[in-house]
Amino acid sequence: MATVVELHNETQRARTLVLDVPDWPGHRAGQHVDVRLVAEDGYQAQRSYSIASAPETAAVSLTVERLDDGEVSPYLCDALGVGDGLEVRGPIGGYFVWDFAQGGPLLLVAGGSGIVPLMAMLRHHAAADAGARAGVPVRLLYSARHLGDVIYRAELEQLAACPEIRTSFALTRDAPPDWNGYRRRIDRAMLEEVGWPVAEMPHAFVCGPTPLVESVANLLVELGHAPARVRTERFGPTGS
């Protein structure tokens, strides 16, 4: 049983739960946990949530997006308090993971809350020493509906100041007048502009709503990237 030690509102719809998990064996960037809620009448609901924290951090952080018609996320986002217990199983997954030793370059593509496991990879990358980091350049493309939906915005801006990290954002619904990022959904031209040339043989990790993930993964393969180097984590339907 994990205990909630901190809660942070990331956006109006997303909240980070910092958990103390006794006997946590450590995790790899990109892994998830299964969270199980049990009602007083015995009804159970279980969902998977990606780990946001780096393997180097002792506490385990999950960032949960509230789906208004969801069974689990409204409880985690609205009702759960510091000191509450939570049934957590994990870490889970040996496929959608990146260890620093795998090297780069890295192409991370996120839609909405799909940024969460990619953030664990960015934080894992940031935990390496500067000399090693320089050899593993990272490009992040993050699509969100509105600027206010961008999770970890301040931290991503800080990371973008590192010479080996380049971040690009696409806002699909509306954007501020002075917005100098993309104002459309991710498409082939965008991936060609911000992604790596095929010859660089990047490791690509794509995470977000299922339609976005499948579209981006197909485009990357069309562009010539090897399917085995394009790893996906589908989150299911979009929130609205």
Partner 1 sequence: MQAEELRLDGNAAGGALREIFARDVTAAIARCAGCGATAPMGALLEYGHAMGVILRCPTCDTAVLRAARTPGWTRVDVVGISFLMIPENVANS
Residue 223's Cβ-side half-sphere holds a number of Cα atoms within 13 Å equal to 26
Question: Is 65 near partner 1 (CB under 8 A)?
Answer: no
Candidate residues 8, 89, 173, 183; the one interacting with partner 1 per rule CB under 8 A: 89
Comparison of 194 and 206: residue with beta carbon closer to partner 1 = 206
- Those residues with Cβ within 8 angstroms of residue 91's Cβ, 6 or more apart along the chain or in another chain: 25, 26, 27, 28, 31, 32, 33, 51
CB of 142 to partner 1, least distance (A): 20
Residues in the chain, how many? 240
Coarse DSSP helix, strand, coil percentages of the chain, rounded to the nearest 5 percent? 30, 30, 40
Candidate residues 124, 196, 232, 239; the one interacting with partner 1 per rule CB under 8 A: 232
Question: Is 43 near partner 1 (CB under 8 A)?
Answer: no
Question: Is 113 near partner 1 (CB under 8 A)?
Answer: no
Question: Is 226 near partner 1 (CB under 8 A)?
Answer: no
Q: What's the distance, CA 182 to chain centroid?
A: 20
Location of structure tokens 């940024």: 115
Question: Is 235 near partner 1 (CB under 8 A)?
Answer: yes
Question: Is 91 near partner 1 (CB under 8 A)?
Answer: yes
Candidate residues 3, 28, 155, 187; the one interacting with partner 1 per rule CB under 8 A: 28
Question: Is 209 near partner 1 (CB under 8 A)?
Answer: yes
**DSSP summary character for residue 163:** T
